[in-house]
Amino acid sequence: MKFFSLLMLPMFVFGEDVLNTGDTAWMMISTALVLLMTPAGLAMFYGGMTRSKNVLNTYAMVVGAFVVGFLVWIVAGYSIAFGVNENSILQNVFGGFNHLFLDGIKWTDISGSYPTYVFITFQGTFAAIAIAIASGSVIGRMKFSTWITIVALWGVIVYAPIAHMVWGGTGAYLFDAGALDFAGGTVVHMNGGLAGLVLAILVGKRAGYPHIAMKPFSILFTAFGAALLWFGWYGFNGGSAFGANAIAGLAVLTTTIATSAGAITWMLLEWVIYKRPTLLGIASGIIAGLVAITPAAGFVSIGGSFVLGIVGSVVAFYGVVYMKKKLRYDDSLDAFGIHFLAGLWGALATAFLAIDDKELLWDGPLKASGDRLGQFFVQVESVVIVGLWTLVGTVVVYYIASFVTTGARVDDETEDIGLDKAIHAEKVLNQG
- Per-residue pLDDT of the chain (432 residues), as tens digits, is 333 333 334 444 444 578 999 999 999 999 999 999 999 999 999 999 999 999 999 999 999 999 999 999 999 999 999 999 888 899 999 999 999 999 999 999 999 999 999 999 999 999 999 999 999 999 999 999 999 999 999 999 999 999 999 999 999 999 999 999 999 999 999 999 999 999 999 999 999 999 998 999 999 999 999 999 999 999 999 999 999 999 999 999 999 999 999 999 999 999 999 999 999 999 999 999 999 999 999 999 999 999 999 999 999 999 999 999 999 999 999 999 999 999 999 999 999 999 999 989 999 999 999 999 999 999 999 999 999 999 999 999 999 999 999 999 999 999 999 999 999 999 886 544
For 342-352, what is each residue's pLDDT tens digit? 999 999 999 99
Rounded to whole angstroms, how far apart are CA atoms 400 and 158? 13
Is this prediction's pTM over 0.85? yes
Ramachandran angles phi, psi of 115, nearest 5°? -60, 140
Ramachandran angles phi, psi of 409, nearest 5°? -100, 145
Topology classification of domain 18-424: Ammonium transporter fold (1.10.3430)
Q: Please list, residue by residue across 86-97, b when 16 or more beta carbons sit within 10 angstroms of its beta carbon and e when fewer do.
A: eeeeebbbbbbe
Rounded to whole angstroms, how far apart are CA atoms 34 and 380? 27
Beta strand segments in 227-351, E = none
Rounded to whole angstroms, how far apart are CA atoms 265 and 307? 11
If we measure between CA atoms, which residue out of 135, 132, 175, 153 comes closest to residue 77? 153
Task: Please report the pLDDT score of residue 428 as a whole number.
Answer: 86
Rounded to whole angstroms, how far apart are CA atoms 297 and 63? 27
Count Cβ atoms below 10 Å from residue 263 Cβ, excluding itself. 24
Q: Please list, residue by residue across 147-179, b when 16 or more beta carbons sit within 10 angstroms of its beta carbon and e when fewer do.
A: bbbbbbbbbbbbbbbbbbbbbbeebbbbbebbb
* Residue 368, C-beta contacts closer than 8 angstroms, at least 6 positions apart: 178
Cα end-to-end span (Å), the chain: 72
| Amino acid residing at 288 | A
Ramachandran angles phi, psi of 429, nearest 5°? -60, -40
Task: Please report the pLDDT score of residue 430 as a whole number.
Answer: 52
DSSP 141-169: TB-HHHHHHHHHHHIIIIIHHHHHHHHS-
CB 45 within 8 A of CB 132: no
Rounded to whole angstroms, how far apart are CA atoms 185 and 395? 21
Task: Please report the pLDDT score of residue 86 as a whole number.
Answer: 85
Angle between helices 116-134 and 55-72 (to 10 degrees): 140
Task: Please report the pLDDT score of residue 191 as a whole number.
Answer: 98
* Residue 260, C-beta contacts closer than 8 angstroms, at least 6 positions apart: 289, 309
Ramachandran angles phi, psi of 114, nearest 5°? -145, 165
Task: Please report the pLDDT score of residue 20 as a whole number.
Answer: 96
Task: Please report the pLDDT score of residue 88 as a whole number.
Answer: 83
Preceding peptide of 277 cis, ω within 30°: no
CA dihedral 292, 261, 237, 158 (to 10 degrees): -20
Measured at the CA of 59, the angle between CA 57 and CA 63, to 5 degrees, comes to 115
- The rounded Cα 185 to chain-centroid distance in angstroms is 7
Task: Please report the pLDDT score of residue 432 as a whole number.
Answer: 42
Task: Please report the pLDDT score of residue 361 as a whole number.
Answer: 93
CB 120 within 8 A of CB 36: no
CB 33 within 8 A of CB 57: no
